[in-house]
Amino acid sequence: MLRIFLTVILPLVLPTVGYALYVLVVERRRREAEEAHSPAPWWATAPWPWLVFAGVAAMAVTLGSVAMTSGVPPHTPYTPAHVEDGRVVGGGASGN
């Protein structure tokens, strides 16, 4: 169930939640600027700083999770794919 949540549900719901939060923040800042009779700052209405920050954060989380959950121990020998008795045998890390 956790696998379904992490691979299907979360990638579909997370962008929607992020967009909803962005819209709430921008509208609140626009309302505050209108009440103060001043123009809203450029960063309050521009999505680019938020998108860059979200992209860097997503990249860091992805790289960190891949580094922590995959791979083989250091100095593990690699055996390339080869033909054995007329059949192709897949390669990969080979243990003792």
Does residue 93 belong to any structural domain of this protein?
Answer: no
Beta strands, E only, 1-96: 78-79, 82-84, 87-89, 92-93
Does residue 54 belong to any structural domain of this protein?
Answer: yes
Does residue 62 belong to any structural domain of this protein?
Answer: yes
Range of the structural domain that residue 42 is part of: 12-71
Q: 88 pLDDT band (50/70/90 cuts)?
A: very high
Q: What is the mean pLDDT of residues 77-93?
A: 90
Neighbours of 42 (CB within 10 A): 9
Whole-model pTM: value is 0.45
Report angle CA 50, 52, 53 to the nearest 5 degrees: 65
Please state the length of the chain. Answer: 96
- Judged against a pLDDT cut of 60, whether residue 23 lies above it is answered with yes
The mean pLDDT of the chain is: 84
Number of domains into which the chain is organized: 1
Q: 84 pLDDT band (50/70/90 cuts)?
A: very high
Which pLDDT score is estimated for 61? 93
User: Of 8-12, 44-48, 53-57, 62-66, which gets the smallest average pLDDT?
Assistant: 44-48
Neighbours of 7 (CB within 10 A): 9
Residues 80 and 89: their CA atoms lie apart, in Å, by 9
